[in-house]
Amino acid sequence: MNTVFSVNGPVVKVRDASDFAMMEMVYVGADHLMGEVIGVNAEETTIQVYEVTTGMKPGEPVMGTGAPVSAVLGPGIISNIFDGIERPLKKIEELSGAYISPGSNIESLDTLKKWDVTLKVSVGDEVQGGAIFAVCPETPLIEHRCMIPPNMSGEVVFAAENGEYTINDVICRIKSPDGTEHDLTMCQKWPIKQSRPFDRRLPVDRPLITGQRVIDTILPIAKGGTAAVPGGFGTGKTMTQHQLAKWCDADIIVYIGCGERGNEMTQVLEEFSGLIDPKTNRPLTDRTVLIANTSNMPVAAREASIYTGITIAEYYRDMGYHIAIMADSTSRWAEALREISGRLEEMPAEEGFPAYLPSRLSEFYERAGYVENLNGTEGSVSIIGAVSPQGSDFSEPVTQNTKRFVRCFWALDKSLAYARHYPAINWNNSYSEYTDDLGEYYYKNVDKDFLPYRQRISSLLIEENKLMEIVKLIGADVLPDDQKLVIETARVIRVGFLQQNAYHKDDTYVPLDKQFKMMKAILKLYDECRSAVEKSVPINRIISTGIFEKVIKMKYDIPNDKPELFRRLEVEIEQTVKKVVKACTEEGR
């Protein structure tokens, strides 16, 4: 029997063992703590333990399982809350009370619950890996589709009657071409560090609509895309992620709280069960999976939580759903890698992070994508990862390496957050590479002018940025009127458009059509004023009519379901400016 030789925090070593494989899952010690083999050589096997090793002694047994660390995939995942190694936290609470005790070995999914299963195959059918052989309603929103494991195929030799089954009941049996028979239940296991296969990648050309103006309009993300949200503490990373989790148009949200605050997870739990999704009229929890490995839970499981989350996402993608993953925060995951690496006395690269940090990050982000699945359905996994740069310094390794592997970069800005401009995404140093890919979608589904308007809005902001350099030196009063107009319009864009109030019932989610109409109104204001300024009308005269403030407040004044009011606003803009022009020309005479 293999036994523990040394213990150093979460790292345990076993001497003279040859029967362990890399990445194999093991049970360590008398309490059967779960662990993973992370290093093997002739003398020593190194294991990282996913739980606290307090009280462990040399000589305690170590048992291999012969399989890599895997996630259990089956009905019962949605609306559940798991820890980093897919243990249901509610069950742990029933077993060990408010505090988590080590060695809580419990089933990931409820094995007693009966699901109302409808079989989709019959005896004699030829099935391939990924084929859907049974379905059951998992929540009122999500139909769970049981699939043949990807590496299996053959002829169906048994199919159960439709009816109520638990996840471990055999409901189907297939015979492989080589003659072996496989029992199929509603659940399957999949190694968390291996991506699930699909048929082929499809172009990412549909937006993930979030209802957040600065994202949808200025810095859009595609379904199947990747985005990073870096920001120092207090800039609203978590808030942004919560907003996206609540409102984005994915079918399923996987929210990974990786090394973050316990109260935040409690908040997600409470808030999401109370919030009703306007599209489906069901609580948001019906489409959400939470993975909570808070900052005080064991560090090795923090590393696993990211992989557990993405494996669950891929599983639902295979069924033909669109998934959005919120990973908050990937920096904590990177720090977990650093901590384990330090315990292994590996040679550090930058700032103590291991040299394999970039390759781990790229492996993770590359699991996103819009794909055609093995069973012919289409699904997508979009990843939105928060990054918590040390000292708010974006040049640190995690931010820099993440930047290389994502195509959307939503940089949160301290000075915006200080001014309580939320979402504090800085439009000057953020970018999205998806704008062009999504152009056609916006053209067809919103308006043909969407992209040109967006371009004009961005240009105004860039121009303002340049002018601000001058204003900082000499003040705004000395600028010529056309430049003053740019500064005023940019203010309308910043306060009236980019800034969005998550606590306002209409402003928290804004449909694309309203976003477009808001842009249109702002540009209308700009154009009208500009032609007035060209007729030498002083811009201050127009500003003093209060029309700029009126446009700023359109986000509150015009409800989401009354877009026709924009017409009235545009007329008002036109007439106000016209009145001023008229007054000025009369005075001129």
Taking CB under 8 A as the criterion, which residues in 276-305 touch another protein?
292, 294-299
Sole binder of another protein in the list 18, 19, 41, 97 (CB under 8 A): 97
Q: Are 228 and 410 in contact (CB under 8 A)?
A: yes
Check binding of 232 to another protein (CB under 8 A): yes
* C-alpha span between 510 and 492 (Å, rounded): 17
Restricted to residues 452-471, the positions that interact with another protein (CB under 8 A) are: 471
* C-alpha span between 520 and 211 (Å, rounded): 17
Query: Pattern 557-586, binding to another protein, x per CB under 8 A?
Result: ------------------------------
b (16+ CB within 10 A) / e for 200-237: eebebbbbbbbbbbbbbbbbbbbbbbbbbbbbbeebbb
Site stretch for another protein (CB under 8 A), options 71-79, 143-151, 376-384, 544-552: 544-552
Q: Quick check: helix, strand or coil at residue 125?
A: coil
Q: At what angle do helices 397-405 and 330-343 cross, to 10 degrees?
A: 120
Burial, 329: exposed, middle or buried (Cβ in 10 Å; 0-12, 13-18, 19+)?
buried
Restricted to residues 169-188, the positions that interact with another protein (CB under 8 A) are: none
Count, residues near another protein per rule CB under 8 A? 79
Check binding of 257 to another protein (CB under 8 A): yes
Restricted to residues 141-170, the positions that interact with another protein (CB under 8 A) are: none
Pick 312 or 319: Cβ nearer another protein = 312
Minimum gap (Å) between residue 473 Cβ and another protein: 6
Task: Find residue 126's DSSP bridge partners.
Answer: 155
Query: Pattern 23-62, binding to another protein, x per CB under 8 A?
Result: -----------------------------xxxxxxxx---
Check binding of 356 to another protein (CB under 8 A): no
Minimum gap (Å) between residue 385 Cβ and another protein: 15
Sole binder of another protein in the list 126, 181, 183, 270 (CB under 8 A): 270
Query: Pattern 312-351, binding to another protein, x per CB under 8 A?
Result: --------------------x--x--xx-xx--x--x--x
Query: Pattern 391-430, binding to another protein, x per CB under 8 A?
Result: xxx--------------------xx--xxx----------
Check binding of 274 to another protein (CB under 8 A): no
Check binding of 545 to another protein (CB under 8 A): no
* C-alpha span between 241 and 236 (Å, rounded): 9
Check binding of 234 to another protein (CB under 8 A): yes
Take residue 565 and report the two structure tokens written for it: 């009011």
φ, ψ of residue 510 in degrees (nearest 5): -120, 120
Check binding of 15 to another protein (CB under 8 A): yes
Pick 298 or 309: Cβ nearer another protein = 298
Take residue 49 and report the two structure tokens written for it: 């333990």
* C-alpha span between 491 and 498 (Å, rounded): 10
Q: Are 455 and 218 in contact (CB under 8 A)?
A: no
Restricted to residues 492-511, the positions that interact with another protein (CB under 8 A) are: 495, 503
Check binding of 1 to another protein (CB under 8 A): no
Question: What DSSP designation does 207 have?
Answer: B
Sole binder of another protein in the list 37, 38, 81, 127 (CB under 8 A): 81
Task: Find residue 255's DSSP bridge partners.
Answer: 290, 326
Q: Are 467 and 486 in contact (CB under 8 A)?
A: yes
* C-alpha span between 146 and 152 (Å, rounded): 13
